Amino acid sequence: EAQVTQNPRYLITVTGKKLTVTCSQNMNHEYMSWYRQDPGLGLRQIYYSMNVEVTDKGDVPEGYKVSRKEKRNFPLILESPSPNQTSLYFCASSLLGQISGGWGNEKLFFGSGTQLSVL
């Protein structure tokens, strides 16, 4: 089954304790991205990657790191989490750039989300 898998689904941590949220896709997508969803702010892009070893900042990259060492995985790293990073996080992937037609044909597939609470 084609899917984007995030782990864990729920995570409670304390300020300053490094954590990693994993993301894996089995669709051979080159494009992957991380979003956070906050009440009243919608989905905001944190980082994205167009291919292996190619990553770029989104709208809200501060406090986050990513890496793309292989095509299927795109982990999100919080080196020193703070309470303002409490949020619902989504990983997504797409064929963007691999076929023609843009975002409609190269749909963005989302994982089920990771609810992070930083105390």
List residues binding other proteins (CB under 8 A): 4, 31, 35, 40-45, 48, 50, 56, 58-59, 90, 92, 96-97, 102-104, 107-113
Contact 90, 65 (CB under 8 A): no
Which CB, 12 or 14, lies closer to other proteins?
12
Name 78's bridge partners. Answer: 19
Tell me the closest approach of the beta carbon of residue 17 to other proteins, in angstroms: 25
Q: Which is nearer to other proteins, 35 or 74 (CB)?
A: 35
As measured in angstroms, the least distance from the Cβ of 73 to other proteins is: 17
Q: Which is nearer to other proteins, 33 or 85 (CB)?
A: 33
Residue 41, CA atoms < 13 Å, CB-side half-sphere: 13
Cβ 114 vs Cβ 88: under 8 Å: yes
Backbone angles phi, psi at 33, to 5 degrees: -155, 155
Paired strand residues for 89:
36, 114
Helix, strand or coil for residue 64? coil
What is the nearest approach in angstroms of other proteins to the Cβ of residue 18? 25
Q: Which lies closer to other proteins via its Cβ, residue 58 or residue 63? A: 58
